[in-house]
Structure 1
Amino acid sequence: MGIWEALAVFGAGIAAGTINTIVGSGTLITFPVLLAVGLPPVTANVSNTLGIVPGSIGGVIGYRRELRGQRRRVLRLGVVALVGGLIGAALLIVLPSDAFDTIVPILVGVAVVLVAVQPWLSRAVRRHLARKATGGPEAAAGPDPAADGHSATTAKAPPEDTAAAAAQGEDTPAKPAPAHAHRRDGGVLLMGGLLLASAYGGYFGAAQGILYLSLMGLLLDDELQRLNAVKNVLAALVNAVAALFFLFVADFDWTAVLLIAAGSALGGPLGATVGRRLPPVALRVIVIAVGVAAMVRLLLT
């Protein structure tokens, strides 16, 4: 690898680390560059997976403020991500690449659509659940529980009970239970979706962040920045477990690994700084734009 090729790989690592922290799809920058400098596809894929791990970790650290209060969620979803990532890494080794690559543009396209319509779908789901829980349409009105980044709490809970529960570190008692209470953890649908998205991430990884954001945005009541922080943790776990698996069964180009690792380590914290300053609407627009670009790139390559 010549000096200019090395600089190109290093620059791609910076860009990938930045965009992975904000949205995802950084692999769509590094992977084509690795192919352009002469790496075989599988070698490029596994080298990229290991190389972007430092950037993923940097993104998690950069978004640590948004992770506060989400420990239980991260632990629960993280286990699913680890299992899915390991499955995907194994699929890369045992299956022909065409078998999975065919569906990648479809997955990315569906994810982009879900991100675009997520606010409307979330409002429609909340109205439906409120009517079903109360037996009438009057409960459909009310503030958006995701507006302040937290799930809605109870209906007409006594203030003194709320204060006492908060002082003891307990959840506020539900009287009655909120209509969207099950959306605090996303249920089986979120777990299954994340398992598939993580398997895809362990196999290839491009746009897995968009899949995570679309799933959590639809099935969890929380603000996009906090969900983006969880997305960074899940992506880091998938990349790490896949890279660990590849260490035992695949061949790496260690020059490429080191260059991408150095670049992504710089880009991860940079992405956290930029991404946190973006309003939810701007972040959603970036997600959609990157997703469309990813889908076009995948269709053309």
Structure 2
Amino acid sequence: MTVLQIVLIALAGFAAGTVNAVAGGGSFFTFAALVFGGLPTLDANATSAVALTPANLASVVGYREEVRKNFREMIPFLVIGIAGGAIGAWLLITIGDEGFRPTVPWLLLLATVLFALSGHINRAIAPFAAKGGAGVKFAAFALMAVVAIYGGFFGAGMGIMMLAALAIIESGDFHKSNAIKNAVAFLIQTVSATLLIAGGLVHWPHAVITMLASIAGGYLGVSVARRVPQPVIRATVVTVGAVLTLVFFVRG
């Protein structure tokens, strides 16, 4: 790695740690930096996923009281997360870089649209959450399973869809839903990271720099990010996602 690449990866890691603690979407920054730092798209995705996993543990710790109180109810979601994360990582390893590269712009586009429309998604889900019913809840559990597989495969934007499904199942208890989302997402990332490491896709020098910088961003950057309105941070993430989507479509 050149000095410029090290600085770029460290800055991206710091930015990812900061925005993940406040709004989500940090993998946009790290994935892009690792690709432009010279890694193949598949390896960049794997390295980014592994590097950001420790920093995301903090969000679980922050909701430890909700996790403790609702742990039994969380078990089905945790099982879905473990299974989905394993399937997603297995699919990623199986298709290889040649299969993964063409999907990157579409995955970035999907994640960007999810971030951009997150408020509208929440409002659209509200009537279904109020209505409830066995059929609606089954559909929500099915969505959770799909999101878990997506999270093991790529991950950006999975929190938004997970919260949408949980809003139906948990009938509007946001903090409980957020605690479940954080715990399930962390399990998805941990299982996925384990398989990606075993698959030899992680570049450790890049991962360690990203990991340390993201932890610093999560710890030090939050105090700065709190002073910036969340819509501004979300708009920044959406803008970065849109630019990256365009760049990867042009690159083919």
Structure 1 pair 283–226 and aligned structure 2 pair: CA distance change class (3 A): farther
Structure 1 pair 98–254 and aligned structure 2 pair: CA distance change class (3 A): closer
Task: State the one-letter code of the partner of 2:190.
Answer: A
Task: State the one-letter code of the partner of 2:157.
Answer: A
Once the two structures are superposed, the pairs formed by residues 76-87 of structure 1 within 5 Å of their partners are 76-87=76-87
Measure the CA separation in 2 of the matches of 1:120 and 1:103: 23
Instruction: Quote how far apart the aligned CAs of 1:50 are.
Output: 1.0
Structure 1 pair 70–25 and aligned structure 2 pair: CA distance change class (3 A): same
Instruction: Quote how far apart the aligned CAs of 1:214 are.
Output: 2.7
Between stretches 42-51 and 55-64, larger displacement belongs to 55-64
CA deviation vs aligned residue, 1:150-189 (integer Å, no higher than 9, x gap): xxxxxxxxxxxxxxxxxxxxxxxxxxxxxx5869xx7322
Instruction: Quote how far apart the aligned CAs of 1:210 are.
Output: 2.0
Measure the CA separation in 2 of the matches of 1:258 and 1:121: 39
- Give yes or no for contact 2:88–2:150 (8 Å, CA) kept in 1: yes
Q: 2:100 aligns with which of 97, 100, 104?
A: 97
Structure 1 pair 217–22 and aligned structure 2 pair: CA distance change class (3 A): farther
Structure 1 pair 76–288 and aligned structure 2 pair: CA distance change class (3 A): farther
Partner of 2:197: 247
Partner of 1:43: 43
Instruction: Quote how far apart the aligned CAs of 1:74 are.
Output: 2.8
Measure the CA separation in 2 of the matches of 1:286 and 1:24: 9
Partner of 1:165: none
- Give yes or no for contact 1:20–1:209 (8 Å, CA) kept in 2: no
Once the two structures are superposed, the pairs formed by residues 84-233 of structure 1 within 5 Å of their partners are 84-95=84-95, 96-97=99-100, 100-101=103-104, 103-104=106-107, 105-106=109-110, 108-109=112-113, 112-113=116-117, 115-119=119-123, 121-122=125-126, 124-125=127-128, 129=131, 180=132, 187-233=137-183
Instruction: Quote how far apart the aligned CAs of 1:207 are.
Output: 1.6
CA deviation vs aligned residue, 1:94-132 (integer Å, no higher than 9, x gap): 22115644642246525753542424641x3466x4xxx
Q: 1:234 aligns with which of 164, 181, 184?
A: 184
5+ unaligned residues in a row in structure 1: which ranges? Answer: 130-179
CA deviation vs aligned residue, 1:191-245 (integer Å, no higher than 9, x gap): 2111111211111122222222233234432344443332222221111111100
Instruction: Quote how far apart the aligned CAs of 1:248 are.
Output: 1.7
Partner of 1:294: 241
- Give yes or no for contact 1:115–1:284 (8 Å, CA) kept in 2: no
Structure 1 pair 219–107 and aligned structure 2 pair: CA distance change class (3 A): farther
The TM-score normalised by the length of structure 2 is 0.79
Measure the CA separation in 1 of the matches of 2:69 and 2:222: 18
Task: Give the SS at the match of 2:156.
Answer: coil
| More helix, by proportion | 2
Structure 1 pair 257–107 and aligned structure 2 pair: CA distance change class (3 A): closer
Moved over 4 A (4+): 180-183, 269-275, 282-289
Measure the CA separation in 1 of the matches of 2:180 and 2:219: 15
Task: State the one-letter code of the partner of 1:77.
Answer: F
Identity %: 27
Measure the CA separation in 2 of the matches of 1:74 and 1:288: 32
The TM-score normalised by the length of structure 1 is 0.68
Measure the CA separation in 2 of the matches of 1:63 and 1:27: 22
Structure 1 pair 111–30 and aligned structure 2 pair: CA distance change class (3 A): closer
Aligned-pair RMSD on alpha carbons?
A: 3.3
Q: How many residues align?
A: 243
Task: Give the SS at the match of 1:52.
Answer: helix
Between stretches 240-249 and 2-11, larger displacement belongs to 2-11
Instruction: Quote how far apart the aligned CAs of 1:258 are.
Output: 0.6
